[in-house]
């Protein structure tokens, strides 16, 4: 099924929007963000774009669809077509929100200047009126000044309305940022999640192929973690995972990228680092984790971790290659005694 959104087409073509269209656009963006947050839809640029088109289409045709009907329309429109349905640029919703914000700011500046000009004109009329004795002329000037005051009031109300719209747009932008952050973060450890890690690895791979920027990868797995959960319970296991997340944050550089990629599995991208240095980083982390204790009543729970290290090279054909090498080294560390680094 092919659906059309005239407002979206108008924006992409660069045509100017009327005040009514800007208002409708803001309403659609708000509905899309609210729906995606409520239904826990991953806020990727592709999803934003597709759901924006769905809501724009239904709004233009005054369709009052239920959640189930909206999802059915989405599936019918996009699911069978794959990526071929991406007709518009990525991150369309973010761009639209930014354009609306900038346009409203421009309107506020223009309205403010207009208000100042009206005030200046009114002041000049009052000065002129003081020097005129003819009653007819004075009455005419009085009516003009009343009209000027009316214009000032209208302009003031217009500015107030624009400022309210600005606050609403800012709230929507903050909500969008929050939803995007939540979709990229592992809720337990506060590190990046697997999806965010894989996307970042793709970006680093492209940068290496294009610009030659090197990086290394550490794969890390907590040893015998199932025993911790079985012996002390999952709440203690969660505390261990949180502590490991804090260790990675505290002992890595600000530009390093740690992520939780599975239950007790972690991965770290080290930008600009060769394998030899990455092995030293992993060894330092291994020692810190092995010395760390989680206190449970009168018992100290300790865990160890095994590490596999790899480095991107000219022979790396795809991001999965560097992952496979690190994973192979991690398996070697596990197989040969655990609590060690193999690179």
Top-confidence residue, 231 or 43 = 231
Domain-located, residue 164: yes
Last residue of a domain, one of 183, 207, 236: 183
Phi and psi at 254, nearest 5°, equal: -60, -30
Q: Is residue 32 part of a domain?
A: yes
Number of domains in the chain: 2
Q: Mean of the per-residue pLDDT values for the chain?
A: 81
The reply to whether 189 falls in a domain is no
pLDDT at 82: 42
Token pair in block for residue 195: 């999806």
CATH number of domain containing 217: 3.30.70.270
- Is 264 considered catalytic here? yes
128 and 220, same domain (yes or no): no
**How many other CB atoms are there within 10 angstroms of residue 72's CB atom?**
12
Instruction: Name which residue leads in pLDDT, 298 or 249.
Output: 249
Q: Are residues 157 and 223 in the same domain?
A: no
Mean pLDDT of the region 275-293: 96
Residues 129 and 176 reside in one and the same domain: yes
Among left, alpha and beta (phi > 0; psi -120 to 50; other), residue 237 is alpha
CA distance 110 to 68: 44
DSSP type of residue 69: H
Pick from 314, 259, 258: which is nearest to 281 by CA? 258
Of 127-131, 227-231, 248-252, 337-341, the one with minimum mean pLDDT is: 127-131
Catalytic residue among 264, 283, 318, 325: 264
pTM: 0.53
More confident residue, 163 or 191: 191
Q: Cα–Cα distance between 279 and 268 in angstroms, integer?
A: 12
For residues 152 and 228, membership in a common domain is answered with: no
User: What range does the domain containing 49 cover?
Assistant: 1-183
pLDDT in tens, 105-160: 666 666 666 666 656 666 665 665 565 555 655 565 566 666 656 566 666 666 67
């Amino acid at each position: 099924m092919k659906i059309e959104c005239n407002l979206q087409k108008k924006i992409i073509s660069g045509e100017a929007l009327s005040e009514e269209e800007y208002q409708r656009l803001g309403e659609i963006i708000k509905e899309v963000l609210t729906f995606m947050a409520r239904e826990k839809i991953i806020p990727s640029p592709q999803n934003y774009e597709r759901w924006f088109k769905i809501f724009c289409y239904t709004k233009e045709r005054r369709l009052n669809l239920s959640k189930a009907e909206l999802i059915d329309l989405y599936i019918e429109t996009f699911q069978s077509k794959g990526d071929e349905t991406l007709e518009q640029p990525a991150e369309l919703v973010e761009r639209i929100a930014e354009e609306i914000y900038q346009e409203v700011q421009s309107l506020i500046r223009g309205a403010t200047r207009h208000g100042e000009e009206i005030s200046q004109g009114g002041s000049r009329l009052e000065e002129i009126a003081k020097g005129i004795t003819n009653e007819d002329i004075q009455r005419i000037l009085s009516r003009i000044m009343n009209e000027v005051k009316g214009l000032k009031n209208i302009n003031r109300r217009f500015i107030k309305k624009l400022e309210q719209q600005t606050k609403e747009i800012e709230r929507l932008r903050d909500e969008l940022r929050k939803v995007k952050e939540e979709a990229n973060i592992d809720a337990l450890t506060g590190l990046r999640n697997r999806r965010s890690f894989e996307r970042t690895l793709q970006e680093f791979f492209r940068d290496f192929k294009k610009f030659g920027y090197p990086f290394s990868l550490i794969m890390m797995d907590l040893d015998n973690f199932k025993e911790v959960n079985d012996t002390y319970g999952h709440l203690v296991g969660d505390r261990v995972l949180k502590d490991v997340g804090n260790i990675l944050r505290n002992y890595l550089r600000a530009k390093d990228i740690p992520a939780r990629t599975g239950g007790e599995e972690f991965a770290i991208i080290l930008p600009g680092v060769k394998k030899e240095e990455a092995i030293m980083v992993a060894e330092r982390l291994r020692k810190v984790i092995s010395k760390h204790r989680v206190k449970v009543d009168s018992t100290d729970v300790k865990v160890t971790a095994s590490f596999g290290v790899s480095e991107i090279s000219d022979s790396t054909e795809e991001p999965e290659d560097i992952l496979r090498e690190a994973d192979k080294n991690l398996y070697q560390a596990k197989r040969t005694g655990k609590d060690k680094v193999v690179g």
